[in-house]
Structure 1
Amino acid sequence: MDMNLTRPDNATLLALRDPAIAVVLPVVYSLVALISIPGNSFSLWVLCRHMGPKTPSVIFMMNLSVTDLMLACVLPFQIYYHCNGNHWVFGELLCNVVTVAFYANMYSSILTMTCISVDRFLGVVYPLASARWRCRRYAVAACAGTWLLLLAALSPLARTDLTYAVEVLGIVTCFDVLKSSMLPSVAMWAAFLLTLFVVLFLVPFVVTVACYTATILTLLRSADRHGEARRSRAVCLAAVVLLAFVTCFAPNNFVLLVHVVSRLFFGRSYYHVYKLTLCLSCLNNCLDPFVYYFASREFQLHMRHYLGYRPLPTGSPDGHLESLGSGRTLSVRSVEGLDAAGRPSVKRQESVF
């Protein structure tokens, strides 16, 4: 997006006619849609139909999967838009819907991954003290809270006409050139975009890194017989999540910060770089199934079963297992809730995370 203070500058006009952008973005978006739709549909089916108790981790993963499918459903509009020479033909309303869905996916994925990291941290580092809070009700509330935060943060996009007629090129853009009337002043523009960067990216990133660092350090100090499996799963999950942050989310958000500061205060634009890094954020949709795989032992077993690698363990109908990846474990005992007296009740199960 380029903030149009008077009219699109030369850098923006060049970006709108850049052949690299015209090729790279449709190709990447097409690959993401082809991988994300079947991958996340299957993941959501497993999470909803075949997972055991809907633990906080499962609820967060369901939210992540729904968010990914939402983006995959609007990507065809973006693909056509870029193949059509950045000319939007679907009207103002659909431009707003596609844009909000696009950015809501990126920031919802960031916040949901942060929720998963906090859930893991509490389950491993403070399993007894956090038992009261690590329940389905609070997980649903956390998901609802993230969406309310996103809707509030993205409300300027939802209530503004994001189409813009670039007369010199004879095209109508969708969120490539923003009207200066969207926000009343340069200070408001800076506040809006810096809020997106700090609140929806930087703070969640710091929290996620801190939580996984503490989780892995705690597991390294554990000495139970399942410790190696737990450590391996923790490291793999942390690696996938941090890979998503570093390769998918960080480039776009940092380039956006540089572009905004340069455009607002120095009159320089890095819009072509921003557009190329924007497509990286969509690659997260292809990484999320790996998050589910390493976050839940039960999901892993079902995935291996349906891919024909390993039969599901017997002993429960339809292969329903206890939720092994909820992170509610300390050694080989799992805090499952509170008894009538308010004391934590426990039951034995294999501890894999």
Structure 2
Amino acid sequence: MLNDSCDIPLETDKVGLTCIYSGIFALGLPSNLLSLWGLYQLGRSGGGGCQLVYILNLLLSDLLQLLTLPLWILYLQGDHHWLYGRAACELVGYVFYVNVYASVMFLCLIALDRYLAIVHPLSSRGVRTMRVAALAGLVVWTLTFLFCLWGLLPSVFDAKSQLCLEQYPVSPGYARFKLATAALGFLLPCSILGYTSAHIGRTLQRSPSVSDQERHKIVSILVVITVNFMAVFGPYHLVGGYRFVSLLLTDDPCRLERSLFLVYRLCYGLTSLNTLLDPLFYIFLCPNARLELRRSLPCVKTRRGPRDLRQPPQSASSKALWE
């Protein structure tokens, strides 16, 4: 199938994106539901603190994004024809994009909260409260929704070609919007994650109460989370940055769109991997959440015996990383 405006071979991304979305949905849905159950049990037991609020919002944004994937699979199988009308395309498109960037913002809030808890544990007590966390979550959802509404409103659905969240070539206004999302949704979070991880690592190096083994574990987790973020979102924003800057400068946008179509679309699909990896890093690596899952779900097998279900002793810095 060819697009009327740029002769884009739209069918070339069908197999790759269908496999990516199907695998992510099949593994991500149970992971997120299990993680939300662990968070619920942790909240009932009175644990988690403001981290609980941020991680809950993160998982909710991941779950909402996951629920749109079956419709994108049907869209791909229909050769990029959206058959459900403009209203459904706009709704699903907004839900997808809002939750992609909301999850990024909640990752930043989690990183900042960890930084305050470990590097400035005393002076940050007034900031690290459930009330502030709830307010921050509300602000993130509101600003992300308004930002995506401003950028996506003119470009969500093309009634003539029945393309949803696609436009070839894109308008200059949409290109500028996508460059803004690259700056705010990737470069800024990368800076925040890198800065907080580096300062947490230096603080732990100077802390006599943290053992070498525990220090190595915490730093390794922070590095893995930062590298994971860059690996999942980096290719999409780097390729997209090149695409949209070039489209603003080139005299032959259709040629550029054809040359980048498949690479850009596959990188776009890989961003949904965050919905699968977030539960791994923020729940399954959290000792308290794992403990509550074992207590509430007897079917979850573990190699530990009954005595080992008690949480092992942790230093204050280690507790602050997750609480």
User: TM over 0.5: same fold?
Assistant: yes
Match of 1:204 in 2: 189
Match of 2:132 in 1: 138
User: What displacement does 1:176 show?
Assistant: 1.5
Give 2:143's aligned residue.
Answer: 149
Closer, same or farther: CA 189–81 of 1 in aligned 2, 3 Å:
closer
- Contact kept, 8 Å, 1:212 with 1:238, in 2: the verdict is yes
Contact residue 86 and residue 159 of structure 2 kept, 8 A: no
Residue type of the alignment partner of 1:60:
Y
Q: How does 1:1-353 map to 2 (within 5 A)?
A: 8-10=5-7, 13-14=8-9, 16-18=10-12, 21-51=13-43, 52-157=46-151, 159-160=153-154, 162-165=156-159, 171-177=161-167, 186=172, 188-224=173-209, 226-228=210-212, 230-266=214-250, 267=253, 268-269=256-257, 270-293=260-283, 296-303=286-293, 306=297, 307-309=300-302, 310=304, 329=316
Q: How large is the RMSD of aligned CA atoms in angstroms?
A: 3.0
**Structure 1 residue 50: deviation in Å?**
3.3
* Conserved 8 A contact 1:40-1:69: yes
**Structure 1 residue 331: Cα displacement:** 8.4
Shift of 1:215: 0.3
Q: Whose helix proportion is higher, 1 or 2?
A: 2
Q: TM-score, normalised by structure 2?
A: 0.85
Output the CA distance in 2 between the equivalents of 1:40 and 1:352: 18
How far, CA to CA, are the matches of 2:154 and 2:162 in structure 1? 15
Higher CA-based Rg: 1
Q: Which of 1 and 2 has higher RCO (CA within 8 Å, sep 6+)? A: 2
Aligned residue type for 2:199: A
- Give 1:190 deviation, angstroms: 4.4
Q: Which letter maps to 1:62?
A: L
Cα distance in 1 between the residues matched to 2:207 and 2:243? 46
TM-fit CA distance, 1:206: 0.4
Residues 3-53 of structure 1: per-residue CA shift (max 9 Å, x gap): x9xx6323xx12x132xx110111111111111111101101110133433
> Would you tell me which structure has more strand in proportion to its own residues?
1
- Deviation string 1:177-197 (CA, Å, 9 cap, x unpaired) is 1697xx7xx3x4443222111
Percent of matched pairs sharing the same residue: 27
Letter in 2 for 1:33: F
Q: How many residues align?
A: 309
Describe the shift of the 1:263–1:234 C-alpha distance in structure 2 as closer, same or farther (beyond 3 A).
same
Asked if 2 retains the 8 angstrom alpha-carbon contact of 1:197 and 1:257, the reply is yes
1:247 maps to a residue whose letter is A
Distance 1:311 1:47 in 2: 23
